[in-house]
């Protein structure tokens, strides 16, 4: 299974150095379209997307996650982001629709 990163150039460069594939995308729409393409490829197991881009379509991502668990779509903050607290329970409730 392959790992693919989507985001800005510095975000993607870090994952490429670690051996993952990566696509530089600059807009949330472009990122969402690329995720839709990548989820159709059976050899991809993990898609890592920059959180600054995925924030705008998180609802749609949660729908995709609920319907198709593989590939796993994981959001990570970009290198320039400030640390913030994450409410994992709220995220889980949103994904499960509870």
Q: By the 8 A CB rule, do 40 and 22 touch?
A: no
Tell me the per-residue pLDDT of 4-62, one tens digit each, with 9 for 90 and over.
Answer: 999 999 899 989 998 999 999 999 999 999 999 999 999 999 999 998 888 888 888 88
Q: Report the CATH number at residue 11.
A: 3.40.50.10580
Total domain count, the chain? 1
The DSSP element (H or E) to which 43 belongs, if any, is none
Q: Is a pLDDT exceeding 60 seen at residue 83? A: no
At 65 the pLDDT is 85
* Structural domain containing residue 59: 2-96
Place of tokens 């995709």: 64
């Amino acid at each position: 299974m392959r790992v693919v990163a989507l985001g800005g150039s510095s975000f993607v460069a870090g994952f490429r150095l670690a051996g993952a594939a990566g696509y530089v995308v600059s807009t949330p729409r472009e990122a969402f379209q690329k995720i839709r393409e990548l989820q159709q490829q059976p050899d991809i197991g993990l898609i890592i997307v920059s959180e600054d881009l995925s924030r705008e379509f998180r609802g749609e991502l949660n729908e995709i996650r609920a319907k198709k668990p593989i590939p796993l779509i994981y959001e990570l903050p970009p290198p320039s982001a400030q640390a913030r607290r994450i409410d994992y329970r709220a995220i889980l409730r949103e994904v499960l629709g509870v």
